[in-house]
Each structure stands twice: as C-alpha cells, then as structure tokens.
Amino acid sequence: MEIIIQPTAEAATQAAARWFARVIRENPTAVLGLATGGTPLLLYRELVARQLDWSRLTTFNLDEYIGLSPQHPQSYHHFMRENLFRHVNISGPQVNLPDGLANAIPAECERYEDKIRAAGGIELQLLGIGTDGHIGFNEQTSSLASRTRIKTLTPRTRQDNARFFGSEAAVPQHVITMGIGTILEARHCVLLAFGANKARAVAGAVEGPVTAMNPASALQLHPRVTVYLDEAAAAELALKDYYRWVFEQKPAWQTV
Ligand code: F6R
C-alpha cells in the first residue's frame, strides 16, 4: 500500500485528482469504479474543473440503496448525476449503478458482476471508508471474498448517513453493494479518507490484521492500493512518519 498524507483534505484530493486525470488522459476508454458519500465530493468537483474527456469512459458505482428510485434525492443515481455525470461528457449507457428497484435482487447482482466482467474489469476503483472500516457497503464481518449482493446496513452506518436523510429512520436498511472480492479485482484501488472520525478505521485498514471486522483491511491483499489521507485521518497510524518519508523519497519517475 502506498500511503500519501497531506495537510488537508483539499491537498489530498488534489493529489488524487492528479492521478485520476492522468489515467483518464492516458487511457480514454478506461473503466472507472466510483463511490458516493461526502468524501469524493471535492474530487468530483476537481475532475469536472479539469474538463477531461469522459466520452469513451465506462463507470461502475460501488453501491445503491434498495427501494430508492433513481430520482430520489438520496439515491446514489441522483448523487452521481448531480455531482459528476451532468457536468461531464459521459452518456447514459456508459454509466452503471446497481438498480435499487430491481424485483429480483440476486439476478440484478449477477447482471452487475457480468457487466463489469464484460467491460474488461475495473481499471481504477475509488473508495471511501466507513467509520467501521466498511468499503462499498461491505459492513463488518462481510466475507472478504464476497461478490455483488444485498447487505443490511449496521445501525452505525445508518447513523453516519442520517445526515443525508434528515433522520436515521429514513435511511434504507438494505443496499446492493459490490463485494470485497469484486473490489479486489480492480487493477488499482484508491482509497480517500478525511477527518478524525476515520482515523481508527484507517489505522486498522492499513496497519491492523486482515480481518472481516475491518473490511478495508482486505486491501492489504491487493497488489496496488493508494491511500490519500489528511492529517486528521492519518492521526492513528503508527508508521505515519515512515509513510511521509517514503513519499518524499519517491523517485521522479514515480511521481505524478
Ligand atoms: C459509498 C460507499 C461507502 C462510503 C463510506 C464513507 O459509495 O461505498 O463505503 O465511501 O460510507 O462515506 P463518507 O464519504 O460519506 O464518509
């Protein structure tokens, strides 16, 4: 894992945006895995500002709430449209999110997996992290080999997401999420985490044991993961000075 610690979320986002922009420029037909939530908002704004060509990219989002229509203001379809897709030149058929209104959820999950495979797999997967270490909506004790499927959100995640819905009771209980096994098949995973409330989950993911109690720790098994943090999210990392030093010593050919 490469750990990049920046003074602020803005600086960490700038660094991640440079990488995303490079991938999009160098591989205009890339398949991107995308995330929602508060964390990637700045990144999407930054990518929009860079006026990149999205016309031949394909995107797959990590997850969607079950029971919310694409028009629902808290659906991830809506989130992605408002925060990214309507600002860039990508067209509908290239954009993929799980269908939260599907009648047959297992069939929808299989369709999603098949579509990712048919697109050639995900080149670059963006991830946030929950305060309990979840990635996608793979909550604690998710199988580290899981595939796209239904998950029941934990009370903690519903509390964390109540800020978007106005109340915890309004947060749906079920979601469709890519599995951890699905995420680990992306060729490069980029995880962003900002703020003190993520510090413990980040330390567990990066330096703790690989355990289903911190689903993001499964990323330790992936050959190519980059983690962009602000100081607050890095606060509980035992080796943070080492990560900083490694970053400063990077040979020029490795920098973006
Ligand atoms: C969203 C997702 C989740 C979030 C996580 C952090 O698509 O997959 O794993 O990344 O819940 O959410 P924020 O960024 O709102 O703190």
Per-domain residue ranges of the chain = 2-231+240-254
Which is the closest atom of ligand 1 to the Cα of 134?
Answer: 9
Is 63 a catalytic site residue? yes
Burial 213-252 (b: 16+ CB within 10 A, else e): ebbbbbbeebeebbbbbbbbbbbbbeebeebeeebeeeee
Report the separation in Å between the CA atom of 172 and the middle of ligand 1, taken as the mean of its atom positions. Answer: 15
**Right CATH for 2-231+240-254 from 3.40.50.2000, 3.30.450.30, 3.40.605.10, 3.40.50.1360:** 3.40.50.1360
**pLDDT tens, residue order, the chain (256 aa):** 999 999 999 999 999 999 999 999 999 999 999 999 999 999 999 999 999 999 999 999 999 999 999 999 999 999 999 999 999 999 999 999 999 999 999 999 999 999 999 999 999 999 999 999 999 999 999 999 999 999 999 999 999 999 999 999 999 999 999 999 999 999 999 999 999 999 999 999 999 999 999 999 999 999 999 999 999 999 999 999 999 999 999 998 888 7
Report the separation in Å between the CA atom of 37 and the middle of ligand 1, taken as the mean of its atom positions. Answer: 5
pLDDT confidence of residue 254:
84
151 Cβ contact partners less than 8 Å away, ≥ 6 residues apart: 137, 138, 139, 142, 174, 175, 176, 177
Q: Which of 113, 132, 160, 230 is catalytic?
A: 132
